[in-house]
Structure 1
Amino acid sequence: MAGNSDPLTPRAKLAVTAGKAVAAASRAAGRGSGSVIGGRVALKLDPDLLARLAQNLDVTLVSATNGKTTTTRLIAEALRAAGPVVSNALGANMPAGITSALAGSSDARFGVIEVDEKYLAGVARDTDPKCIALLNLSRDQLDRAAETRMLAENWREGLAGSKAVIVANADDPLVVWAASSSPNVIWVAAGQMWKDDAWSCPSCGGVMQRPGDDWFCGECGFRRPTPSWALSGDHVLDPHGSAWPIHLQLPGRANKANAASSAAVAAVFGVPPQVALERMYQVQAVAGRYDVVQFQQRDLRLLLAKNPAGWLETFSLIDPPPTPVILSVNARGADGTDTSWLWDVDYTRLTGHPICVIGDRKLDLAVRLEVANQHFQVCEDLDQAVQMSPPGRIEVIANYTAFQDLRRRVGN
């Protein structure tokens, strides 16, 4: 439980001060928030700093391939009903960025931390979390990330015997297998639209059977656990069978699923579902995602989609045809340099939408759309794409660094 004694040694205080100074210098030089470089410097000076900063906090970790940043925001908003919260709200989700975020607050009671999937086990070791939310696992950054089952195995080994309450998605077999090594799991029926990474059993390799919303392995008996929380339409069902309405300003089924998991986490800390869900209404956009911005006398809605599962969810929430769509894909370090995942996305869902294609890898995307029999135009940049789009609101879908480029261009 959070206490008030100062956990920081003189060395740790020096590390925090140095990290903040470096971060401020980085910001002044126009190189971003400085949180990552500041955290790196602080951890060099005191390798135990993350553990020291976390020891007076009730920590929740959030990890997944998709939805980490949004769910972290929703949980943080819900827990503010019970006390001050510190969070890495801007998505710097590796140890340096997390350290930097925690160093920025001295009076928080709760820490709500988004964690990159590959770092979850190590950050859990350092921060001794009270709760860990596991939402989904799917293919992402194919050149950098391990195959999804290996990631699930890292989670399973890293969380084995963890004292934390694990809030896990019962509809994702990889997540269920990873969480099953923990003694204290709360299962949430949050749904799974993208199933192409979960057709073989993570336990034995057998073929997964998927009748309706259920799943099980016909060979070893590994099966979907019975959830105690569930997303049901526009409501969250709690363990007592009560249905609580979800009121979000964020669009789409995926965000309702994020809200269901967030309500289950909030309940671990004694925040009732009604209070938690009401507070989540405050979240309008997350690091620019879902923002509607004015640009060249047009309304552009900015949507982030980084991998096949994310694109599938995003297609489900765009306005119907003939709403124009601009697609932007880069393949820089933060995106993963391998764009072969484009072939896993079902672009036939865009039939009827006028499409413009931009970004570093616009030609890769153009070939993919050609094969999917889509009508599109390749444009030089956002300005040209907006000019060539028919009237009305425009849906702009981009992967990670392409999204940052767009935000800079529209001044968001």
Structure 2
Amino acid sequence: MAGNSDPLTPRAKLAVTAGKAVAAASRAAGRGSGSVIGGKVALRLDPDLLARLAQNLDVILVSATNGKTTTTRLIAEALRAAGPVVSNALGANMPAGITSALAGGSEAKFGVIEVDEKYLAGVARDTDPKCIALLNLSRDQLDRAAETRMLAENWREGLAGSKAVVIANCDDPLVVWAASSSPNVVWVAAGQMWKDDAWSCPSCGGVMQRPGDDWYCGECGFRRPTPTWALSGDHVLDPHGSAWPIHLQLPGRANKANAASSAAVAAVFGVPPQVALERMYQVQAVAGRYDVVQFQNRDLRLLLAKNPAGWLETFSLIDPPPAPVILSVNARGADGTDTSWLWDVDYTRLTGHPIFVLGDRKLDLAVRLEVAGQHFQVCENLDQAVQLCPPGRIEVIANYTAFQDLRRRVGN
């Protein structure tokens, strides 16, 4: 267990101390958590620091386009049944943020780490993970994320021959293609609501056949593997065929799927499904997502949706019409500057809801809603939108930086 022997060289200790000092200064200046800048400074002083910090931990990596922050939190909660956990719970998921998180967990047994899809192969190389959870791959940040098949190829090459147990969603053909190079894969039937990135076979480019919940390529025979774990309604089915009830405060089918994958990860480390799923009930919100806050004497539920797959899942969560809905979209660096993905989202699902639009790219969104035949009002800010909303709990859906703006405004 970590803490018994000190893996850190004097240089590494200096790097950790300097990183923490810079992070504290950044927080004091009101520039956020400081974890990224602190990690960058630490890695500049010791480029091998991430590998050194990981070497006494049982590392679990979680990567996906959607759901990685929540799943990381659920796995961390479940594994606390087996020992202390260090995790990048705030979602700083590139090497600097991960280094910063691990530097704070000298007594931990487990490191549960969310990893940006583009960095998975490199972080896996540095941290020698015991387990890697792969949930889904879909289009995201069109201006800079490689086409999804290229990401899958990158994962496939990076994970080839990995000693890690790979927990992979067998319902996503891109994830299956990526994970198939690993010698030790546990398949989970976690479902796939958004299918528009998986119509062609990642192996040969042929057309994917999708009878019912199954899928296969009619040309090369690449097909859905048989799962040993599965999400079935409100239960997780384990490899022995036992059904365990999912206890979550987080809403929606997507989070049940995240819980199923998390239970499979916990089992790798000897935590039984019943214990893992009961512990997941502790999670009420994840970095502000799903929080219900009071603002101007109204209840607002804050929902994050960063890409078409995320918006589709989020629409399935919201209260039925005529619940008012506020939509906010930015296109800053962290969001991706290309908003053409708005055209991939089916906004007809909002029919019957009063809709209020804000954010840096509110006019892009307004054009998209106009084409979708929706009734909406463009607003200058959250205060104005809330004042215009009819009665009922307000569902607020925003992409990444718009979500952070809203949290600051409501004091969350």
TM-score higher than 0.5: yes
Pairwise TM-score range, normalised by the shorter structure = over 0.9
The C-alpha deviation readout for 1:116-140, integer Å capped at 9, x for no partner, is 0000000000000000000000000
State how far apart, in whole Å, the 1-side matches of 2:267 and 2:205 are: 35
The C-alpha deviation readout for 1:254-311, integer Å capped at 9, x for no partner, is 0000000000000000000000000000000000000000000000000000000000
State how far apart, in whole Å, the 2-side matches of 1:410 and 1:2 are: 40
* 1:251 correspondence with 2:251: yes
The C-alpha deviation readout for 1:147-176, integer Å capped at 9, x for no partner, is 000000000000000000000000000000
Matched residues, number: 412
TM-score by length of 2: 1.00
Q: Is the 8 A contact 1:231 1:257 kept in 2?
A: yes
Q: Is the 8 A contact 2:3 2:108 kept in 1?
A: no
Q: Is the 8 A contact 2:87 2:113 kept in 1?
A: yes
Q: Is the 8 A contact 1:2 1:58 kept in 2?
A: no
Corresponding residue SS for 1:337? coil
Corresponding residue SS for 1:271? coil
Partner of 2:192: 192
Corresponding residue SS for 1:239? coil
The C-alpha deviation readout for 1:37-83, integer Å capped at 9, x for no partner, is 00000000000000000000000000000000000000000000000
The C-alpha deviation readout for 1:379-405, integer Å capped at 9, x for no partner, is 000000000110111000000000000
State how far apart, in whole Å, the 1-side matches of 2:145 and 2:226 are: 30
- Alpha-carbon deviation of 1:5? 1.1
Q: Is the 8 A contact 2:249 2:284 kept in 1?
A: yes
State how far apart, in whole Å, the 2-side matches of 1:213 and 1:2 are: 43
The C-alpha deviation readout for 1:366-389, integer Å capped at 9, x for no partner, is 000000000000000000000011
Corresponding residue SS for 1:341? helix
State how far apart, in whole Å, the 1-side matches of 2:33 and 2:393 are: 31
* 1:385 correspondence with 2:389: no
Cα separation, partners in 2 of 1:272 and 1:347, compared to 1, 3 Å: same
Q: Is the 8 A contact 2:3 2:107 kept in 1?
A: no
The C-alpha deviation readout for 1:67-121, integer Å capped at 9, x for no partner, is 0000000000000000000000000000000000000111000000000000000
Q: Is the 8 A contact 2:78 2:271 kept in 1?
A: yes
Q: Is the 8 A contact 1:169 1:175 kept in 2?
A: yes
Percent of matched pairs sharing the same residue: 95
Partner of 1:344: 344
State how far apart, in whole Å, the 2-side matches of 1:5 and 1:217 are: 51
Partner of 1:122: 122
Q: Is the 8 A contact 2:331 2:339 kept in 1?
A: yes
- Alpha-carbon deviation of 1:2? 5.2
State how far apart, in whole Å, the 2-side matches of 1:358 and 1:105 are: 40
State how far apart, in whole Å, the 2-side matches of 1:3 and 1:404 are: 36
- Alpha-carbon deviation of 1:3? 7.0
State how far apart, in whole Å, the 1-side matches of 2:46 and 2:258 are: 35
Corresponding residue SS for 1:365? helix
Cα separation, partners in 2 of 1:217 and 1:252, compared to 1, 3 Å: same
The answer to which of 151-160 and 3-12 deviates more is: 3-12
Corresponding residue SS for 1:61? strand
State how far apart, in whole Å, the 2-side matches of 1:108 and 1:152 are: 31
Corresponding residue SS for 2:108? coil
State how far apart, in whole Å, the 2-side matches of 1:265 and 1:243 are: 16
State how far apart, in whole Å, the 2-side matches of 1:294 and 1:210 are: 44
Cα separation, partners in 2 of 1:135 and 1:16, compared to 1, 3 Å: same
State how far apart, in whole Å, the 1-side matches of 2:398 and 2:345 are: 14
List, as ranges, runs of 4+ consecutive aligned residues in structure 1 with deviation greater than 4 Å: none
- Alpha-carbon deviation of 1:144? 1.0
- Alpha-carbon deviation of 1:15? 0.3
Q: Is the 8 A contact 1:149 1:174 kept in 2?
A: yes
Corresponding residue SS for 1:42? helix
The C-alpha deviation readout for 1:7-39, integer Å capped at 9, x for no partner, is 000000000000000001111111110000000
State how far apart, in whole Å, the 2-side matches of 1:170 and 1:192 are: 9
- Alpha-carbon deviation of 1:349? 0.1
- Alpha-carbon deviation of 1:251? 0.1
Q: Is the 8 A contact 2:161 2:183 kept in 1?
A: yes
State how far apart, in whole Å, the 2-side matches of 1:210 and 1:382 are: 42
Q: Is the 8 A contact 1:236 1:243 kept in 2?
A: yes
- Alpha-carbon deviation of 1:320? 0.3
The C-alpha deviation readout for 1:303-361, integer Å capped at 9, x for no partner, is 00000000000000100000000000000000000000000000000000000000000
Q: Is the 8 A contact 1:4 1:56 kept in 2?
A: no
- Alpha-carbon deviation of 1:4? 2.0
State how far apart, in whole Å, the 2-side matches of 1:90 and 1:77 are: 14
Corresponding residue SS for 1:302? strand
Partner of 2:133: 133
Corresponding residue SS for 2:146? coil
State how far apart, in whole Å, the 2-side matches of 1:3 and 1:212 are: 50
5+ residue gaps, structure 2, are: none
State how far apart, in whole Å, the 2-side matches of 1:301 and 1:90 are: 19
State how far apart, in whole Å, the 1-side matches of 2:2 and 2:393 are: 47
Corresponding residue SS for 1:249? coil
Q: Is the 8 A contact 1:166 1:185 kept in 2?
A: yes
Q: Is the 8 A contact 1:78 1:277 kept in 2?
A: yes
Q: Is the 8 A contact 2:83 2:108 kept in 1?
A: yes
